Amino acid sequence: MGLIDERGMAAVIFDMDGTLIDSHASVERAWQRLAAAMEIDYATAAFQHGVPSINNIRAIAPGIPEADALAWNRIHLQMEIEDTEGVVALDGALPLLRALESAQIPWAIATGCQYGLGEARQQAAGIPRPEVFVMFGDYAVGKPAPEPFLVAAQKLGVPPSATVVVEDAPSGVAAGLAAGALVVAVAETHDRSELGAAHFIVEDLHQLLDLLLG
């Protein structure tokens, strides 16, 4: 018996970047280009994976006027939308999603990507678009706040406590826990020691499929 049946879970909510798709190279290129344009040393910038871009811009440029932060955010968004080279589905993502659909288990994506970027990466990676695709703009406060997963659960029509949240980043794990979900971390982008707050940790999406469905 898998975790979903064992715990009576009603749906699965996935983070996207680093969880279902590999966009690392594209993300790095865009942030390096933006940091250079802002005349910031990217190597020492306070960048965090898994949080909305605008939050990162405020972090790497403390005290920046909000109008300037928003302008740089628009530039960064366009950089990312235009650069999807190397964005691919992670190994095991497509079999996992097909298995959930075959088992008639609803699933959603809740990402820090903004509109335009979320779709660009989803299409580039070749993963199916879920009926519930929550992006920054559907919520106001990003991870580690719980709002992305609360909005996804609401759109799925299930209580957050009946959802399994799948994440790869500490901020996403914190968000899932704050939402009251059962949190499974995939150690694709972060060391297990950084993900220890999750209820379960798996090495890859093949292990996740076994954990969820047995």
**Positions marked catalytic:** 15, 17
Contact 180, 213 (CB under 8 A): no
Cis omega (within 30 of 0) for bond into 144: yes
**Element of type H or E holding 212:** helix 205-213
Residue 140 has φ and ψ, to the nearest 5°, of -100, -30
94-97, Cβ contacts within 8 angstroms, sequence gap of 24 or more: 94/126, 94/127, 95/205, 95/206, 95/209, 96/205, 96/208, 96/209, 96/212, 97/20, 97/127, 97/128
